[in-house]
Amino acid sequence: MEEHKYTPKMLSNNTNHAIGDVIAAAKTLKNIYSAEINALQEPDTKEFLNLQDSKLVAAQDYYAFMTQMLERKTELENIDPTLKKRLREIHTHFSDTTQQNLKALKRMKRCSERLGNTLRNAAVRAAQKNNTLSYSENGRLPNESSRKIVSSGLSETV
């Protein structure tokens, strides 16, 4: 992911145009979330990683627009009823897609953790098998008998 400096976009002074900008920002972010869900389900790691920069910018735009609209909430009473309906619809779709995206990300995280654990366990087993001085999970040497004396090489009579 490239580093970038974000400059918040300003909404139009016209309330109806500002609502249109909020709707467009929500649609953009929703579409990126949908593409990310598809990339996670495929799994297409390259596509998933390619989406991250655009997702960051789209999320920042959406956040900036929503913050500005909340500051202007008294104006929302006067918006066009058709825009109000579209805003409710996009909010519903956006919320649903966001929840699906979070579930897909959690599923990917669990799969990655399981894969990491499997690889770690396989590496531990391979190391124990190939090295006669490898330690078990409880810190003991393999085939160690409880009566066997292990000396650290230091004089114990000091």
User: For residue 79, what are the contacts with CB-CB under 8 A and spacing of at least 6?
Assistant: 15, 16, 19, 87
Asked if residue 33 belongs to a domain, the reply is yes
Tally of domains in the chain: 1
Mean pLDDT (whole number) for 4-9: 80
Asked if residue 84 belongs to a domain, the reply is yes
Asked if residue 117 belongs to a domain, the reply is no
Q: CA 147 → CA 60, 132, 134, 143, 144, distances in Å?
A: 65, 19, 19, 11, 8
Chain segment 92-150, per-residue pLDDT in tens = 999 999 999 999 999 888 888 888 888 888 888 887 776 555 556 666 655 555 555 55
Asked if residue 149 belongs to a domain, the reply is no
**pLDDT at 27 (0 to 100):** 94
Mean pLDDT taken over the chain: 83
For residues 72 and 17, is the Cβ–Cβ distance under 8 A? no
Asked if residue 78 belongs to a domain, the reply is yes
Asked if residue 66 belongs to a domain, the reply is yes
Asked if residue 81 belongs to a domain, the reply is yes
**pLDDT at 3 (0 to 100):** 64
Q: Which residue has the higher pLDDT, 88 or 156?
A: 88
Q: Supply the range of the domain harboring residue 79.
A: 15-104
How many separate helices (H) and strands (E) can be counted in the chain?
A: 3, 0
Q: CA 1 → CA 4, 8, 103, distances in Å?
A: 9, 19, 22
Asked if residue 154 belongs to a domain, the reply is no
